[in-house]
Amino acid sequence: MPSRRPLVGGNWKMNTSRAEAQDLAGAVITQLEPSILQACDVTLFPPFPWLTAVAEATCSSPIGIGGQDVSDQSQGAFTGQTSAAMLIDAGCSTTLVGHSERRHGLGESNAILNAKLRQAISAGLEVMYCVGETLSERESGQSEDVVAMQVKEGLDGVPAGDLDRISIAYEPVWAIGTGRTAAAEDAQAMHCRIRADLENQYDARSAKGVRIVYGGSVKPSNAESIFAQPDVDGGLIGGASLDAEGFVEIIRAAASMSAS
């Protein structure tokens, strides 16, 4: 296993009431052994309105909080958007950029995602940048090219010195929320390709340090085999992160990889 520290994110999407969000965060904290948190980074991505409540619930634990999205603008007349500075003010250390439900559901392009990523980094946030091919792209043999372009264009203009604040989530769109998971070897092959592309775009040392996590119907029953792959550094978990017990099991599986 390379020296990268495992990372697990819980993307709650547009789920939970305020009370449910606080309870869920509390249950994750209670169930996670301190030794696990010493071996693995954990970030929760609650809905925007609950960020402050969840930040309060997690403030005495090493669990981080992140936004599910961020504006490409720093402030001003952008109704409904949330700036990087606002996320930081609400207690966030991280933000997702490019989740497929925004890329494909809301038509966000690589160019806009690049602007969001750079805005977040320059404001001081870390970024988990999501990439992944659709089913039709996979079936027509375009997966690697599509993902390579998402990585190249999404990171355009980002200097190597900022890469330590960026992780990449490889999330095949056909595996998100569908119950279908990429075979562990297929996930490894794509992660390996992403790392090779990062090496071309930057250098070997920088590429080796970037954490690349897998997302797409990860559950307690399949987490271990996926996380065992040498270029898989953890996971971005959607549906299964809404159940504290299952989410904690997934985190334990990631943490155990840093010990192996």
Please enumerate in sequence order all residues whose Cβ is within 8 A of that of 205, keeping only pairs 6 or more positions apart, or say none. Answer: none
Contact segment (CB under 6 A) with ligand PEP among 28-36, 187-195, 204-212, 234-242 equals 234-242
Q: Of the listed 126, 137, 171, 191, which one is catalytic?
A: 171
Tokens 């995602």 sit on residue: 113
Examine residue 223 and tell whether it contacts ligand PEP (CB under 6 A): no
Rounded to whole angstroms, the Cα distance separating 115 from 113 reads: 5
Rounded to whole angstroms, the Cα distance separating 9 from 182 reads: 18
Q: Of the listed 99, 108, 137, 191, which one is catalytic?
A: 99
> Got the DSSP string for 83-134?
-HHHHHHTT-SEEEE--HHHHTTS---HHHHHHHHHHHHHHT-EEEEEE---
Answer for which of 218, 232, 248, 257 binds ligand PEP (CB under 6 A) is 218
In angstroms, give the least distance from the CB of 239 to ligand PEP: 3
Residue nearest to ligand PEP (CB): 238
Active site residue 56: no
CB nearer to ligand PEP: give 141 or 179.
179
Examine residue 167 and tell whether it contacts ligand PEP (CB under 6 A): no
Active site residue 245: no
Contact segment (CB under 6 A) with ligand PEP among 114-122, 157-165, 193-201, 237-245 equals 237-245
**CA angle 230-236-241, nearest 5°?**
130
Examine residue 239 and tell whether it contacts ligand PEP (CB under 6 A): yes
In angstroms, give the least distance from the CB of 9 to ligand PEP: 8
Closest CA to 48 of 96, 7, 114, 8: 96
Rounded to whole angstroms, the Cα distance separating 196 from 190 reads: 10
Residues with active-site annotation: 99, 171
